[in-house]
Every structure is written in C-alpha cells, then in structure tokens.
A = this chain, B = another copy of it.
Amino acid sequence: MSVTMKMIAKEIGVSVATISHVINGTKKVSEETRRLVLEAIERNNYVPDMTAKNLRRKKTKAAALVISSYPDNYVTKLIHGVGTRARELGYSLMLVNTSENEAYEMEALRLLRANMVDGIILSPATNRIDYLADLQRHLPVVLVNRYDPRFEDIPRVTADDFQAGYDATTHLIQHGHRHIGVIYSVPHVTTTENRLRGYREAILRYGLPFKESWIVRGFGTTEGGRLAVKTLLQQSPEITAIFVLSDHMIIGVVQELRDQSIRIPDDIALIGFGDFEAAAIIDPPLTNVSLQPDTIGRIAFDILANKIVNPEYHKHVSLPTSLIIRKSCGC
C-alpha cells in the first residue's frame, strides 16, 4: 500500500490540511511545522496521489496530442515539439495516434473528454469535424495542420500550405515543366486541399494546362509512393515533373523511378513536401518544402496553455514555409 497524507499527518501529529499547505505553499505554515512535515515526507518517501488531486482540483496538468498520421518525419518532429514544450510548461503529455482512422479518433476524444486532460492538440483525420464544435465547449482544443474552415473560432496552427504548393509548383514551372503531376496521400483535409489549390493557382497563373489525371492518391508510405508514381506515369506519360506531398512517399517515388531507369531530374523532376535529414544525401539530393513541424508543435502547445487558463483565448497561426533547393528539381 502507498503512504497517504493521512498517515503522515498521524505520524507527526498535525492535520492533513497543514500538510497539504506545506506541499502546495497555499498558506503560511510556521517554519517549525514545515520542517517537521518535510522530514516526514522525505522519511516516508511520500508522493501525493495524482488521481485524488486531479479529482479534487478538477484539472490534471496534462494535455493530449491526438494525431492522425503515419509515423513519418513530419509527425515525429511535431510530437517532439509538442512534448518538449509540454515539459517546459509543466504538463504531462498523452499521445494518441489514430492512424487516420476516424473511429479511433472519436473514441479517443470521447475518452479524453472525461476530464483526463486539461486540453487537446488535435490533427484530425478529416475536415468534417462537427463534433469538435461540441467538444470545444468542454475542453480547450487547438488544431494543428488540418482544420475545418467552418469553425473559425477553434484556434489552429498550420503551415502555409497554399503558398508552399504555389511556390513549389512555380519553381517547377520556371524550370520549364508544363505537365506537372501531384501525388498526395490524405484526401479531404485542408493540408492536401490547400497545397493543391496552390498548385492549381500557379498553373493557372502561368496559363498552363491542367488535368485531373495528373493528380494521384497514394498510401502515405514508401510503398504507397512507389505504387502511386507507377500509376501516374502509366496514365499520364506526358508528365515531366512531380510534386510529392509526403516525406515517406517521395522515397518510394525515387525507388520506383530508379527501378524504371527514369532519370531524376532529367526525365522527371521532383519536389517533396516536408524536409528531412537524409534528403541532402539522397541521389539526387531532394528539393523539399520545409515545414518546421517542431515549431508548429511548440506554438500549438503555447496556444493551448493560454487557452487552458483563458478559454476565450483564440489565435490562428500560419507559418511560412521555405523551399530547400537541392538537385531533384533540376537546379
């Protein structure tokens, strides 16, 4: 059995109230008693029970990160950013990976709603997050990456996906490409949609043709990238450049092109989304849109921490992206 406050109290003949006060510094306690209490705590190796504290205080000093994605480089860094900032601000972090599964997500959210955490950072599986409007009334929520444009009052922090899509596409166009394919992985989310809008905007701007068949969906893994590019090249052999929206997929794309003896960037130029360490030493070095997921995570947690204190707090942040130019684009 664990030692409780009551036992400590009895042992040194003070009240539990006093002990609580020296632990939390909630009231003045004489130096004498204070020492007595501290010693007893030390001696008994006493640790206050969190479950009791949580129940009584109606807060847990914990937050949850509910993320819906394959464990790629992007997500990894996001988790790291959130986790680090959480620790810095004295919060514990619950991690839920819902693997792009909406049912898991709703179940997790339901569980978290039960006062398990003081707030949630969520990267939802889809844009349709009506249930958030309700959840939000109970619990501070901040969205990362993906959001529902209809709910302007839920704070969010994202990369400027539109601009990133626009910039990457423009870069390809400036290299002379007129038939640019896109491989994305998750449909019906703002990240994908905004990047695609940027892509179309750039194409439109330069008066280039646009074909639905140049946009292909792939499973967000290496193998998924491989398959997707195979499909894309088969149905649209006129393609000379591809914009790949996930860091794991582009690896598969490179593998497949290589297997087919298609040269990068000579035959097909490539730009990826989400930079990662190895990109620089891949053959050829990959040009990527850099997203700073760790910064997104840190900022998201800061916003959450604010919103926990002040539920009215509300802020959107859209972070600039940058194009890390290496060789795969033809530069």
Contact = CB atoms under 8 A, between A and B. Distances in A.
A34 to B, nearest CB: 20
B114 A48 contact: yes
B114 A50 contact: yes
A60 B50 CA distance: 11
Contact of A80 (B2, B50, B60, B97): B97
Contact of A116 (B45, B50, B115, B276): B50
A92 B96 contact: yes
A194 to B, nearest CB: 26
Contact of A95 (B50, B83, B282): B83
A278 interface: yes
A54, A58, A62, A93, most chain B CB atoms within 10 A:
A54
Nearest to A99: B84
Interface stretch (A10-18, A71-79, A171-179, A202-210): A71-79
A26 interface: no
A104 B116 contact: no
A116 B54 CA distance: 10
A110 interface: yes
Protomer copies: 2
A272 to B, nearest CB: 11
Contacts of A260: none
B114 A49 contact: yes
Contacts of A80: 71, 97
Contact of A255 (B95, B111, B115, B280): B280
B258 A47 contact: no
Nearest to A97: B83
B96 A2 contact: no
A92 B115 CA distance: 13
A87 B67 CA distance: 13
A121 interface: no
A254 interface: yes
A170 interface: no
Contact of A92 (B116, B254, B258): B116
Interface string A306-321: 0000000000000000
A54 B60 CA distance: 12
Interface in A257-275: 258
